[in-house]
Amino acid sequence: MNLKGTSPCPLCGYDALAPPCPHCGGHPREGTLRRRPADPLLGTLDGLLALPFGLWFLATTRGVKRWLVPPLVATLILMIGALVVTFRFMNGLLESHLPGEFTLTDTSWDWLENRSETWDWAKATWGAVLVALQWVVNAAWGLLTSKPLQLIGWFFVGSLVMWYCFSIAYEALAGPFLDEVQARLEAKWFGSDPRSRLERPTDIPPETCARLTTLGLGLVSGIFVLALVAFHAGFWLALLLAPLGLVPSLLLDRRYGTWLAWVATVEGRATWTSLQASLITGVLLVFALPLYFVPGVGYFLFAAAAGFATAISLLDIPLERRGWPLRCRLRFIARNMLPMLAFGITSGMLLAVPFLGPVLMVPAASVGGLWLICRLDKNPLRSEGERWPD
């Protein structure tokens, strides 16, 4: 029987009762999706290719990169703040706990001081041992607290802060923007956005929506600045008055209000899905933290764990677009565990690249995960009597 009424097309994954699919037609415009959907074993190769394809689609598709700028800027600001706080804490810790030089004293050799001259050799030997030990301790301490080693330590701590920011904060902030990116890619791949076809409540043209939205946002910004600066209103009062700028757009076309309410609902769902996925990722990374301290390979082990957890949780965005219930999602991921493992491992490898890796990994994994879901066969999720012929 169907899972809560979900009858996914074997290719695009959207609800389709019988072939041909009304959303993708079984013949998508994107060439890499025209092949027959892969089974779990052969889909492992697609799992390895998903992240490179995600990067390729981001680089070659017009009109999607600008949607990644707002969450990226917000995450970078948050990350810089977190790095400043962390490095200040580390520097204060070093300054307060690292003296310039150790002086070793030992009162236990007072018994030698009271001995006769025949014990001078023991006194000289013990004094030399203390001097040598003091030199070794100070030399080792100076090496451990030297600038080069401090820089290495700060690099590893900074990497940890960066990974947490991009695996948790970026994922949480980017949900609605990644949802819009995926909508544009699906419109390019299938001729139109299937979710819009299924859920869009009015026939108002997209061009009219864009014009009215631009007008509304301009008036909202103007009212906010005017109330804040000219009338010296408080921040919250100005923020409360700003939505009045949408009134002209709502009056010009009554369908716009219905469309705007639908968009708010859709983006609210995307935000909630992103927050849930981010929370799951955060919990997984807490348990993965000990991997970071494994000598020699901890950096790569934690990157692999962080990349895998983030990539798998990012699949919730395309699955939410398709309206799949939780049971359907878990069944799909469990059945395609090998492709998912391959996808997660390649995401972890990209995350391990210093500085550039975290910036690229989240959007690439989001788009690559969308492509991977389209590549894997969804026919087994349908009931026996409703499965489409191969």
What's the structural domain count of the chain? 1
Residue 127 lies in a domain: no
Host domain of residue 169: 31-98+145-204+253-386
Question: Does residue 233 belong to any structural domain of this protein?
Answer: no
Cis peptide before 99 (omega within 30 of 0): no
Distance CA 199, CA 5 (A): 16
Residues 6+ apart with CB under 8 A from 187: 193, 196
Say what the pLDDT of residue 102 is.
Answer: 55
228 in any annotated domain: no
Task: Say if 190 falls within a structural domain.
Answer: yes
Residue 52, pLDDT > 90, answer yes
In 3-state terms, what secondary structure has residue 110? helix
Helical ranges in the chain per DSSP H: 43-60, 69-97, 110-113, 120-144, 147-164, 170-190, 194-199, 206-225, 235-241, 247-252, 254-288, 298-314, 316-321, 326-335, 337-351, 356-375
- Residue the block writes with tokens 């009424």: 5
Q: Is residue 264 in a domain?
A: yes
pTM of the entire predicted model: 0.76
In-domain check, residue 220: no
Contact 377, 8 (CB under 8 A): no
**Segment 214-232, tens digit of pLDDT:** 888 788 888 888 887 777 7
Which tokens belong to 201?
């409540």
Average pLDDT of the segment spanning 280-294: 83
pLDDT confidence of residue 60? 93
Is 163 inside a domain boundary? yes
What is Dmax (Cα atoms) for the chain? 109
- The amino acid at residue 164 is Y
Assess if residue 312 is contained within a domain: yes
Please report which confidence band the pLDDT of residue 121 belongs to, taking 50, 70 and 90 as the band edges. Answer: low
Q: Is the pLDDT of residue 104 over 60?
A: no
Give the HSE-up count for residue 282: Cα atoms under 13 Å, Cβ half-sphere.
13
Greatest mean pLDDT among 70-74, 311-315, 330-334, 366-370 lies in 366-370
Residue 91 has pLDDT above 60, yes or no: yes
